[in-house]
Structure 1
Amino acid sequence: MKATEARLKAALDRPPADIRLYLLFGPDEAGALALADRLPRALGTDAERVDLEGAALRGDPARLADEAASLSLFGTSRHIRVTAAGDESLAAVTALLEADQAGNPVVMIAPSLKATSKVAKLALDSPLALALACYVPGGDQLEGIANEIARENGLRLGAGVARRLAQAGGGDRAVMTREIEKLALYLDAAVDRQKECDLDALDAVGADLGDAETGDVINAIIGAEPAVLGEALRRFDEAGTSPVPWLRALARRLAALAEMKGEVVNGGDIAGVMKRHRVFFKEEAATSAALRRWSPQALSRALALVRAAERDVMAGSGGAGDVLAAQAMMELAVKLRR
C-alpha cells in the first residue's frame, strides 16, 4: 500500500501485525535510514536485527521469507533490514508477501528504485506492505524536519537554530538527529521535560562547523596533503560533528573530477574542460592540479571508498564508523602523496 510519511512513522513506532514489509525507495537514502531507525526503537533495546543486502537476495530469494518467519535465538523481538535493494530483490519480496506466515517485520531501503519498478509496484499493490517514496528535502523542509526531530527529543528550537542544524547536517536527517540528540542530552531534555534550545547551546555543543572546515578536508584529500587533512579532521573530531556531510561533499567533488577527467582522457584540454564545467575561478588551480594528478581508475576507487565510508558511518557503531572514515581518508591522502 502507498503510505504517507505520517502513516509510515506511526506504523514503525507501533508495528501492526499485518504489515510484513516497509519499503522505503527513492534517492533520499539518509531519510530512509532515519525512518528505518524508528522500528528498532519501537521493538526495544533487546530486539535482534538481521542485516541483509539486496545483492545477497538475488541468489537466495527464499532467505528473506525464512528470516521473517524465524524466531530470535534469545526469545526477543526480531526484525530484518535490507539495504541497497533493487529489482534483483523481486523474487525475495514476492516470496515474503506470499509466505504462509512472517512474524518479523522487514524494512527494505532501495535508493535506486522508482515507483515504476517491479518491487515498488508489488509493495504498492500489496495490503501486507507499506511503501513510501523518499525524496531529498529542500532547505525549508529541512528546517521543518529539524523542528520535528527536536520536539520528539523534548526541545523547542530558538530563532536560527533549525537553519544552522539543517546546514550542519548537509541535508541528512540522520545527521541532524544525532546532533539534536546531543543537544537534548546537554540540556537534559526529554519528551516529558521540554527545554529551550538557543544558539548558545548549539555553540556549546559544537553541533556545526562552517563550509571553510569542510572545504579544508576536501581540498586536503584532493590535493594529497595528509598533514593538512589531519589538522582538519582533528577540528571536526573536537566538535563531535558527523563526517557524513563532508563525505557527501567529497563524493560530489570526486564525481565532478571523474567526469572532467573523462573528457580530458578523450582529448579535451584541461582549461577548456574546466570552462565548460564552470569551475569557480578560485578553484581553477587546484582543479587543474587534481586533473593532472588523478587517474580515472584512482577517482573511481576513491569514490567507492568514500561511499563505503559513509555507509560505515550511517550503520552506527558507537563512533567506530567515524574513526574508520577518517582513517580511510587519511590513507587515501597518504597514498596519493606517495
Structure 2
Amino acid sequence: MKVKDQEIVRRFHSDPDKFRLALLCGPNATRCQALVDELVAPMAKTAERVDLSISDLNDNPARLNDEANSASLFGDKRYIVLRLNSGEAIRAAAAIENLLDSESKGDPVFIVAAGMADKTALAKRLAAAPDAVIATCYETTIGEAAAAISGMARAEGLSMSRDIALSIAGLTSNDMVLAKIEIEKITLYLDASPDQPQKVDAGILALLGAENDEEDLGLLYNAALSGEAAKLSAELATVKMIGFSEIGLIRLMLSHLNKLADLRAKADKGARMDTLMRSVFFKDKDNIARQLGIWSASNIARLIERILSLEVALKSSGQPNGVLVEQELLTIVRKAARSR
C-alpha cells in the first residue's frame, strides 16, 4: 500500500496487525527517520528493538525474515529497524522480497531508505503488497513547513502569526524535527498549554530562536568533519557550559552529511568545484570545500550510518547523552585529521 508521508503513522497505528513492513523513502532523510521514530513509538517502551544495516544482509538475504520470525530471549514482542543509505536499497531488495514472500508474518519491520525513489521495482512491489506500507518523504517547502509549524504550535497552546511560523521554518531549514524542538522550547518558556494559550511575538523568537543554536552546533560538527581537533575541543568546552540539544545536533549533522554526500557524488562524476559551490550557502562554502577534500563517498556513507546508530544509542544507552556525542565527535575528528 502506498500512502502519503503525513498519513503513514495514522494508517499503521490504526491497524498495526495488518502490516508486516513499513518503508520510508525519498530525498528527505530526516523526515524518513522522524516518521520511523513515530511509527515505533508505541512499541519502544515494551518491545525488544533489533537494528540492522546492509552489512547484515549482504551475505545472508534470509537474515531479515529470520530476525522477524525469531523469538525474543525473554519471549517479548520484537520489532526490526533496517537503515539503508543511498543506493543500498537495491542491494537489500532480495532480503525485502524474501520477507514479503514468507508465509509466516513475524514481528514488524521498519525500513529507512532515504534516497530510494518510489518508482523502482521494489517500491512498486511494496505498493502492491496488502501487508506492506510505503511512503515517500519529499523535501519540505517553506510554505508547507510554516503550515505544519502553525499546527504544532496550536496543539501546544501557542498563538503565532504566519510570519513567526515562516521565521521558525527558515531558522530550522524546514526540518520538522528541529522545528518541533523549537516549539517545545517556546512552550516551556511561556508555560503555555491548550488550556492556557500564550502568544508568541518576535521578541521571544529572537531570545529563544534556533539561529544561534544552529550556528553553535555547526561549529561542533564542522570542526570534527574538518579534522580540527583543537577547535573541536574548544567548542565542546563552550557548549558544555550552556548545554545543547544532542538530537538537534544529530539532525543538523545528518542534513549536512547528506548534502556532502550529494556533492561528493557529483564531484566523483567530474563536476567542477566552482559549479558545486553554487548550490552551497555562502557561510558553508569553506567547510564544504575542505570536507570534500577529506571524505570519500564510501566514508561519508559510513559516517551517516554511524550518526544514525548514535541516535539509537542516545535513546537506549544508560550513559549521559553528552558523553556519547562527545566520543563520536572525537572519533570523527581523529579520522578526518589523518585524512587531511
- Report if the CA contact (8 A) 1:51-1:82 is conserved: yes
Structure 2 counterpart of 1:315: 312
Q: Which of structures 1 and 2 has the larger relative contact order (alpha carbons within 8 angstroms, sep 6+)? A: 2
The secondary structure found in structure 1 opposite 2:52 is strand
- 317-326 vs 83-92, which deviates more? 317-326
Structure 2 counterpart of 1:29: 29
Deviation string for 1:290-325 (max 9, x for gaps)?
67xx895x3328745753554245435053553344
Change in 2 beyond 3 A, CA 1:225/1:108? closer
- For normalisation by structure 1, the TM-score amounts to 0.74
Equivalents in 2 of 1:258, 1:95: separation in Å? 31
Structure 2 counterpart of 1:114: 117
5 Å matches for 1:1-338?
1-43=1-43, 45-84=45-84, 86-151=89-154, 154-159=156-161, 160-187=163-190, 193=195, 195-196=197-198, 198=200, 199=202, 202=205, 207-209=210-212, 213=216, 216=219, 220=223, 225-233=228-236, 238=242, 240-241=244-245, 242-243=248-249, 244-245=251-252, 248-249=255-256, 252=259, 256=263, 296=293, 298-300=294-296, 303=300, 306-308=303-305, 310-315=307-312, 317=314, 319-320=321-322, 322-331=325-334
The secondary structure found in structure 1 opposite 2:2 is coil
How far the C-alpha of 1:79 sits from its partner, in A, is 1.7
Deviation string for 1:255-287 (max 9, x for gaps)?
7589779979xxxxxxxx66555679x889968
Change in 2 beyond 3 A, CA 1:278/1:304? closer
Equivalents in 2 of 1:275, 1:336: separation in Å? 22
Deviation string for 1:19-57 (max 9, x for gaps)?
111111112121111111112322362222211123422
User: How many residue pairs were aligned?
Assistant: 322
Percentage identity across paired residues of the two chains: 25
Change in 2 beyond 3 A, CA 1:193/1:333? farther
Structure 2, gaps ≥5 residues long: 316-320
Deviation string for 1:93-147 (max 9, x for gaps)?
2232232332422111112322232321110111111111111112222222333
- Report if the CA contact (8 A) 2:222-2:287 is conserved: no
Report the aligned-residue RMSD: 4.1
Change in 2 beyond 3 A, CA 1:222/1:9? closer
Equivalents in 2 of 1:66, 1:260: separation in Å? 39
Equivalents in 1 of 2:328, 2:239: separation in Å? 12
How far the C-alpha of 1:12 sits from its partner, in A, is 3.5
For the pair shown, the structure with the greater C-alpha radius of gyration is 1
Structure 1, gaps ≥5 residues long: 265-272
How far the C-alpha of 1:165 sits from its partner, in A, is 3.3
- Report if the CA contact (8 A) 1:53-1:82 is conserved: yes
- 307-316 vs 91-100, which deviates more? 307-316
How far the C-alpha of 1:67 sits from its partner, in A, is 2.7
Amino acid at match of 2:137: C
